[in-house]
Amino acid sequence: MGNELLSIIESIERDKGIDRNVLIQAVEDAVATAARKSEGLGEEDEVTATIDQQRGRIVVTVNGRELASVQLTRIAAQTAKQVIIQKIREAEREIIFAEFQGRVGAIMTGSVHRFERGDIIVELGRAEAILPKAERIPHEEYHQGDRLQGYVVEVRKSAKGPAIVLSRTHEGFIRGLFALEVPEIGEGIVEIKGIAREPGDRTKIAVASQDEKVDCVGACVGMRGTRVKNIVRELHGEKVDIIRWHESIREFIAAALSPANISAIELREEAKQAVVIVADDQLSLAIGKKGQNVRLASKLTGWQLEMTSASQHSAAELSLRALDGVGPTMEARLREAGITTIQQVAALTLEQLTDVKGVGQKIAQKLLAAAKAAMAARTSQAAPADAAVPEGASPAEAQQPRVRAPEEDAPIGEPPTTAPPEGGEGTVTTTEEPEPSGEQDG
C-alpha cells in the first residue's frame, strides 16, 4: 500500500506537473480530516497525518500520540478522496493560470472545440480558451475541429479555472502575425511603428528598419509576397498595406494617404491637425471608399486630417485674404475662432462674428457685407449663363466643403505595399484605380 501510494503521487506529479510536496500535503490533510471523523474526535483535538516518504506509511497522531491503527469509515474515506481530488484540481488550475498569465500578448494556436452562445471555445492542449463573438473578424466562419489562431488579451481566475480570452480583432494580433512571419522583426532589425486596422476589411502597418542595409517593406512582404500572403490568408482576405515610416510628419502623412498624390500639407502642430491638399482628381482616391483611407491614415499618424482639393483650398485662401478689412492680424483672429473660409464668414450672424476676439460691431458689419458680396460675385462668375441657383439655396451651399477624417487615420510617404491576391503571380499591388462612382477603396 505504501509503495503504491508513492507511485500514484509520482505519476500525478509527472502527468500534471504538480509539485510533489503539494500532492503529499493534500493527502496528509485529507487523511487527517478522515481520521478525525472516523475516531469521533472533536475540534479541540489536534489531529495530524504524516507520510513516511521512505516506506510510504501514513502515521496519524492525536494530541501528539501516534495511533496504532486507523479504521476509516466509508463516508470518511469518500471525504478524503474528494479532498484529495479538489486539492489536485486547485493545484493544476494554479499551474495553468501561471503558465498562460505569462503568455498575455502572444499568439496561440488551438482547435475549435465547441460553440457557446456565439462564442467559440478553443482547445489549447491542457486548457480551454474563449474567443468572444465581439473579438472575431466579421464574416469569418469556423467549424468544429478547425485550426484557429488568436491573440491572448486576458487571463483571469474563475470558478471553473483560468479564463483565457482570445482576440482576432486586436491590433496586437497583426503585430504577432508579422513577428511570426518576419524573422527580422523578432531580431529587432525591423520595427513596427504603428498599426491602424478595421478588422475584416483593411490594415495599414508602418514599419522602419534599424539597419540601412535592410529594406523594411521588402522584409515584411517577402520573396514574391509569400510572407504577407500568409498573413492575409490567416486574416481571411483582409487587405494589408505595408508602409515605410518617416520621422518627418509631412512625409509620414503623405505616405499614409497613398496611393493618392499629395500636393501640399499644412500643419497645425499644437492641435495635431493637418490640412492635406490634393489635386481635384485625387480627392476621392485620397479619401477612399466610405472615407476608409483617410480614416486609417489619421489613426496611424495620430493627426486629425482635413482633406481638400486644390481648387477648394485656393478659393478658401483667397476669400479671407481678399476680404476688405482683413489683414494678417484679423485673419489670424478669425482662424483662431475656427473661421477659415469666406463661406463661413458669410454664414455667420452679426452677434456670432462680434464674439470673435478683436471684432467689434462696425468691423463685423463690414466683414459680413464684404463676405456676402464676394460670395455673390463668385457664384455669378462660376455659374453658367443658363444655370439657375435652386430657390432657397445660399451661395455657400454651392461650394464644395472640405472633408475631415472621421476621428481616425493612418500612414507614410510612399505607396503602400498591398498583399497580392491569392493564386496570383506574387506581384505586389502598390496603386489602385478609383471606382466609377467616384469612391475609392483606399
C-alpha distances out from residue 354 to 131, 361, 365, Å: 57, 6, 9
102-169 under CATH 3.40.50.720, yes or no = no
Question: Within 42-120, where are the H helices?
Answer: 74-101
Give the list of residues 6+ apart from residue 316 with CB closer than 8 angstroms, or none. 308, 340, 341, 342, 402
Residue-range domain boundaries for the chain:
2-92, 102-169, 175-262, 311-381
Whether residue 164 contacts residue 129, with contact meaning beta carbons closer than 8 Å, is answered with: yes
Angle at 210 between CA 207 and CA 216, to 5 degrees: 40
Q: What is the pLDDT along the chain (442 residues), one digit of tens a residue?
A: 456 667 777 777 777 777 778 888 888 788 877 777 777 777 777 878 777 777 667 777 777 777 766 666 676 677 777 878 888 888 888 888 888 888 899 999 999 999 998 899 999 988 899 999 999 998 889 999 999 999 999 998 887 778 999 999 999 999 999 999 999 998 999 999 999 999 999 999 999 999 989 999 999 999 999 999 999 999 999 999 999 999 999 999 999 998 888 888 988 888 898 889 888 888 888 898 889 999 999 999 999 998 888 877 766 665 576 677 788 888 888 888 877 777 778 888 888 888 888 888 888 888 888 888 877 776 555 444 333 334 444 433 334 444 455 443 333 344 555 654 444 333 343 333 333 333 334 3
Instruction: List, in sequence order, every beta strand (DSSP E) within 279-425.
Output: 304-309, 403-404, 417-418
Query: Positive or negative, the Cα torsion across 333, 338, 344, 348?
Result: negative
Phi, psi of 138 (to 5 degrees): -55, 140
Q: What was the pLDDT predicted at 410?
A: 35
Please give the helix or strand (H or E) that residue 366 lies within, else none.
helix 361-382
Fold of 175-262: GMP Synthetase; Chain A, domain 3 (3.30.300)
* 175's grid cell: 503585430
Q: What was the pLDDT predicted at 125?
A: 84
Tell me if the bond preceding 259 is cis, omega within 30° of 0.
yes
Please give the CATH number for the structural domain made up of 2-92: 3.30.1480.10
Total count of residues recorded for the chain = 442
Q: What was the pLDDT predicted at 386?
A: 37
Q: How far apart are CA 30 and CA 55, in angstroms?
A: 19
Q: What is the CA radius of gyration of the chain?
A: 35
Please give the CATH number for the structural domain made up of 311-381: 1.10.150.20
